[in-house]
Amino acid sequence: MIRLRAVLPLLLAVLSGCPEKSANRTKQQLEALQKKKEDKVRAEKEKEDLAPLPTPTVRLEPPYDELSAVVINGDGPCPDGFWALFPGDAPGATPEEKKLNAQRRPLIVDELKAKSFLVKLRLPQVSLKPYDAAKGTFTVEVIGTIDCQDVTTRQRIAVAWTDAKAGVPPSGAYEGADVAPNHWLAPPVTFSLPIKTMAEAKEFEQKNRLGISARVAFKVGKGEVDKKLKKVAKVAVEAHGEKLSTGGGVEDWGAGPLVRAELLGLRVATGGEKVQLLELRP
């Protein structure tokens, strides 16, 4: 009993102080939470203030504008229906779908030929060659072909706006091989850009070499397919005590399908495409 009487005042004092301490702690937590929210809002505001302003998109007149043309990205998907430009069976998951696509082929081709297409190119597809002081010119080269992937047939299709020919690339990559695959080889479009003095040429190169670009506008022309058939002999292989044979038959080492583009215009520019340097029109 004596012990309880001694402890009871202390316990009452502690209990009487708990509501006040709890209230203070809750108040502090709310203030800390509010400060955290304010700090987050302030940080986001500062981030917005320091963010660079978006670069305005250049607006070009036809045929180089993106609103009136279908944009094709190199190594990206081909426009829908490119398969219809080539001979052969129509694609489809079922016989009915193949039949329907075969019936629609002429309509798909007409729709493709009514559209305009646009390819946007950058370094190294567009290159500024070293300055020729004797001639007072730079040479600017723009590639003559790109590839895209047909989503329907899963084939790679080349698109060329210069005179492409199927052949083996002039390099040592296939030297000594029994057979080398063909590629569509298209010469570049070459321009001469006059610059009067060496000093001007140096300044121009430093300013524009990395920022030079091109847009190629065209209509689709005819499609053709390069085949290079090679008969391959069977090869006997022994593995785990068993004799297996691989290969044999005929393989196609051709360059595959190509769309010949009918050029509408080729524009070379710099300064974020705002400053036109050169143009080729048919």
Q: What is the pLDDT of residues 165-174, one digit of tens each?
A: 999 998 777 8
Q: Please, what is the average pLDDT of the chain?
A: 85
Q: Which residues contact 92 (CB under 8 A, 6 or more apart)?
A: 98, 99, 100, 101
3-class state of residue 34 by DSSP: helix
State the Cα–Cα distance between residues 155 and 226, nearest whole angstrom.
13
pLDDT tops 60 at residue 20: no
**Does a structural domain hold residue 131?**
yes
pLDDT the model gives residue 179: 83
Residue 72 DSSP class: -
Q: What is the length of the chain?
A: 282
In a domain, 35, yes or no: no
Structural domain includes residue 27: no
Residue 54 resides in a domain = no
Q: Could you tell me which residues are beta bridge partners of residue 242?
A: 239
Asked whether residue 200 is domain-assigned, the answer is yes
pLDDT in tens, 86-133: 999 999 999 999 999 999 999 999 999 999 999 999 999 999 999 999
Domain contains 106: yes
Q: What sign results for the dihedral spanned by CA atoms 261, 264, 268, 273?
A: negative
Residue 219 lies in domain = 70-280
Structurally, the chain folds into a number of domains equal to 1
Q: Find the range with the poorest average confidence among 109-113, 187-191, 213-217, 240-244.
A: 240-244
Model confidence band, residue 232 (pLDDT cutoffs 50, 70, 90): confident
Grouping H, G, I as helix, E, B as strand and the rest as coil, residue 147 is strand
| Residue 216 placed within a domain | yes
| Model confidence, pTM | 0.74
Task: Give all strands (DSSP E) within the chain, no chain letters.
Answer: 70-71, 117-122, 126-128, 137-142, 145-149, 156-160, 165-167, 183-185, 189-194, 213-226, 229-239, 242-252, 256-270, 275-280
Q: Is residue 11 part of a domain?
A: no
User: What is the C-alpha separation between 45 and 40, in angstroms, rounded?
Assistant: 9
